[in-house]
Amino acid sequence: MPDHQVKQGDTLVSIAHEHGWRDWETIWLHEANAQLRERRADPQVLEPGDVVHVPDKTPKQVEVAAGRRHRFVAKVLTARFEAVVRDASGNLLKNRRFRVEIEGRAHTGYTDDDARIELDVPPDAKTGVLKVWLGGSGEPVLTWHLQLGHLDPPDTDAGLKARLANLGFYEGALDGPLDDEVKGALRNFQVVYGLEVTGEPDQATRDKLSEIHDASPGSPTA
């Protein structure tokens, strides 16, 4: 049973794909990953340095009758891109035209009544661009540069800053300490969502940030 040390950009889907698995659930639910499941609420949001135990694959055997034609269906592993899009004031962008380009393949459509976008993408997809039109084709466009799988858990400083950035409150680096720029972003977030304005990442602020951002498991990381 090999161990896979998580690097930036890894998710359970990409790890399963790398090790030749057609589903990630078997890996995630293996008893050797019980402690990891306790630490990480979302298997697609891991922290670099986490260790995932990948079980050995067991060949599947089936019995078939000789002299007959048989049909076998192979399961295809895909990743799910999901996003809920908002403007800088936190308003949901419902029924707005969008275009997502991931690894050179374009997807177009309209956000639904919950401002959600859902797409199947390749399991090893890493980058993309999301554009959402605020009105007609000539109206302003909001653009997110996507780094798929790069979102760190919400209890980490990098995860907190990435969520602020994705929601339009922060434009700085994701590494380093929580400096004055981050605290300013936290104050703006707290004002918009009716929290006590402290500029500090208290538990109420972290919980609201996760609630707003992680309502979509695949929220883009920019």
Q: Which of 80-94, 112-126, 199-213 has the lowest mean pLDDT?
A: 80-94
Domain CATH for 29? 3.10.350.10
pLDDT of residue 103: 85
**How do residues 139-159 score in pLDDT, each as one tens digit?**
778 888 888 888 899 889 999
What pTM does this model have? 0.73
More confident call, 58 vs 169: 169
In this structure, what CATH number is given to the domain that contains residue 194? 1.10.101
Please name every residue paired with 141 in a beta bridge, in sequence order, or none if there are none: 133
pLDDT over 70 (residue 12):
yes
At 220, is the pLDDT very low, low, confident or very high (cuts 50, 70, 90)? Answer: very low
Question: Where is the domain boundary, 105, 127, 149?
Answer: 149
User: pLDDT tens for residues 62-72?
Assistant: 676 776 776 75
Asked if 125 and 102 count as a contact pair (C-beta separation under 8 A), the reply is: yes
**Who's near 32: CB < 8 A, 6+ residues apart?**
1, 53, 55
Residue with tokens 């994701």, as numbered in its chain: 174
Q: Return the CA Rg of the chain.
A: 20
Tell whether the model's pLDDT for residue 193 goes beyond 60.
yes
User: Containing domain of residue 107, as a range?
Assistant: 81-149
More reliable by pLDDT, 136 or 194? 194
DSSP 81: E
In a domain, 69, yes or no: no
> Could you say which of 99, 133, 149 is where a domain stops?
149
Q: What share of the chain is helix, strand, coil (3-state, %, to 5)?
A: 25, 20, 55
**Total domain count, the chain:** 3
